[in-house]
Amino acid sequence: MSIVVQKYGGSSVASIEKIKNVAETLIKRKNKGDKIVVVVSAMGDTTDNLLNLANSVTKNPDKRELDVLLSTGEIVSSSLLAMTLKSMGYNAISFTYNQIGIKTSGTYGKSFIDDIDESKISKALREDKIVVVAGFQGINSEGDVTTLGRGGSDTTAVAIAAKLKGICEIYTDVDGIYNVDPRLYKNAKKLDSIDYEEILEMASLGAQIMHSRSIELAQKYNIPIYVGLSNSNVQGTIIREEIDMNMETKPVTGIATSDDDVAITLKDIDNDINILSELFENIGSKNINIDMISQTAPLMGKVNISFTIPKLDFEECKEVLSSLGYTSSISLDRNITKFSIVGIGMKSTSGVAARMFKAFKENHIDVKMITTSEIRITCALNSSDKIKAIELMAKEFNL
């Protein structure tokens, strides 16, 4: 008998009919003898609809109140699923963030789970109940509701699995993890398994697979995660510890792209480390994530500094830059795609970057910025070159 923590995404609970399908799946699993905890996202487009409501009130919704509003979506779907299970003759109970003490810290909309009081969940499981938890949310030290960011229900599920020492299964509207987004590349291949490091890089780089914080937790507590299609017997993908390296290991496992960033360039800045320190310290104090950074060579004591941030944070970043007196020197580039190749095989394979940039050069793809890690290479490209770059790299590395 195992404790199984399952998570169902918004598309899996988008209607009452789909909620009933999930309930039937849970019942079948319970009848095999497992103890079930299920974490649910908001129904369908509920979160987007709530965001639209907030934006109809103001272009810049208060973040505290926005988290209160957004948290209601998961509460609705969790209570409906518990009701459905009870109507089918199975004992179930739903819990909100407050009822099971999901403690969070950080900022509104981007908070982190610090701890979970699993006692109520454990008690309900001993009473043979199916436990349904509203994902994506928690409560901070001030007693305020906070949300974990898009995909945060994944993190809720992994955190609960870690506390209960259970296994974790993530169910969504895709049948596993692909080496390239199938919507962008028709020949994408599904992976049987993938390493924590690789999937963490891909998730953080824009691949819409799983919440990156959930992967970090899974890696920290060594929890394998199964990712598969809701209500299907099609085999999905296992995320687990590093796969054994061998002679046949490909240097590149997958490609990730993101159109969610904007590049900001500050022109003719004094070449002074104190100025750079003040600049990035002030931006960081607003919990704005700076990803790629480049700097021109000094000319007459001046440099140009370019960096990327999420588009959603641009207005707040603009306020910071204005307060530092940079308004007139700002150049903005919204036409960028963050393009990354990822693979644990890069650790033992030389020449990967050379192959990538040679292909780009031969096909007239401009590279605006570059960052690297041990297992990935990331470039900022013109958005119009995204599909061409995907096809080139898929062919170059046999993906």
Question: The domain spanning residue 260 has which CATH number?
Answer: 3.30.2130.10
Instruction: Say yes or no: 120 and 45 in one domain.
Output: yes
Instruction: Say yes or no: 125 and 151 in one domain.
Output: yes
Mean pLDDT (the chain) is 89
The domain spanning residue 158 has which CATH number?
A: 3.40.1160.10
pLDDT at 305 over 60: yes
Nearest to 150, CA basis, from 197, 213, 91, 58: 213
pLDDT of 1 reads: 66
Instruction: Say yes or no: 260 and 301 in one domain.
Output: yes
Mean pLDDT of 278-292: 87
Instruction: Say yes or no: 224 and 370 in one domain.
Output: no
Nearest to 41, CA basis, from 123, 136, 120: 136
Scanning the structure block, which residue is given the tokens 């590149």? 252
pLDDT band at 206 (very low <50, low <70, confident <90, very high): low
pLDDT band at 211 (very low <50, low <70, confident <90, very high): confident
**Boundary (domain end) residue, out of 209, 240, 271:** 240
pLDDT of 142 reads: 93
Instruction: Say yes or no: 184 and 309 in one domain.
Output: no
- Total number of domains constituting the chain: 2
Instruction: Say yes or no: 277 and 325 in one domain.
Output: yes
Instruction: Say yes or no: 65 and 142 in one domain.
Output: yes
Instruction: Say yes or no: 228 and 255 in one domain.
Output: no
> What is the pTM for the complete model shown?
0.80
pLDDT of 355 reads: 93
Instruction: Say yes or no: 161 and 280 in one domain.
Output: no
Instruction: Say yes or no: 81 and 212 in one domain.
Output: yes
Instruction: Say yes or no: 166 and 304 in one domain.
Output: no
Residue 378: domain span? 244-399
pLDDT at 245 over 60: no
pLDDT of 246 reads: 54
Q: By percentage, how much of the chain surpasses pLDDT 70?
A: 97
**Boundary (domain end) residue, out of 205, 240, 275:** 240
Instruction: Say yes or no: 95 and 202 in one domain.
Output: yes
**Boundary (domain end) residue, out of 185, 214, 240:** 240
Q: By percentage, how much of the chain surpasses pLDDT 90?
A: 54
Query: How confident is the model over 97-118, as pLDDT tens digits?
Result: 999 999 999 889 989 999 999 9
pLDDT band at 288 (very low <50, low <70, confident <90, very high): confident
